[in-house]
Amino acid sequence: AANRTAITEFRVADVDEEYRRLAGGLGEALVQAPTTMPWGNRSLLFRDPDGNLVNFFTPVTEAAIAKFGG
């Protein structure tokens, strides 16, 4: 969509490891380096080649881990 409001989210085992793996190829597609969000997920945000926002996240707080399991 032109307003780019949709976000595709993927839970990953280690968002920091994914960032290290992808960092060299993200370039200007990077929106936000891994950051711990107030709701307990650590998130990496970037745009895919079509401009869609993608979130790789790992639950890191007890509450987030309990919510997502694991």
For the segment 9-50, what is each residue's pLDDT rounded down to a tens digit? 999 999 999 999 998 999 999 999 999 999 999 999 999 998
What tokens were used for 59? 């639950």
Cα dihedral sign for 48, 7, 18, 11? negative
Alpha helices per DSSP H over the chain = 15-26, 62-68
Are residues 59 and 40 in contact, defined by beta-carbon separation less than 8 angstroms?
yes
pTM: predicted TM-score of the whole model, two decimal places: 0.87
Q: Which two tokens stand for residue 29?
A: 């597609």
Strand 30-36: give its sheet, edge to edge.
Answer: 7-11, 53-59, 41-47, 30-36
Task: Set out the domains of the chain in order of their start, with CATH numbers.
Answer: 7-68 (3.10.180.10)
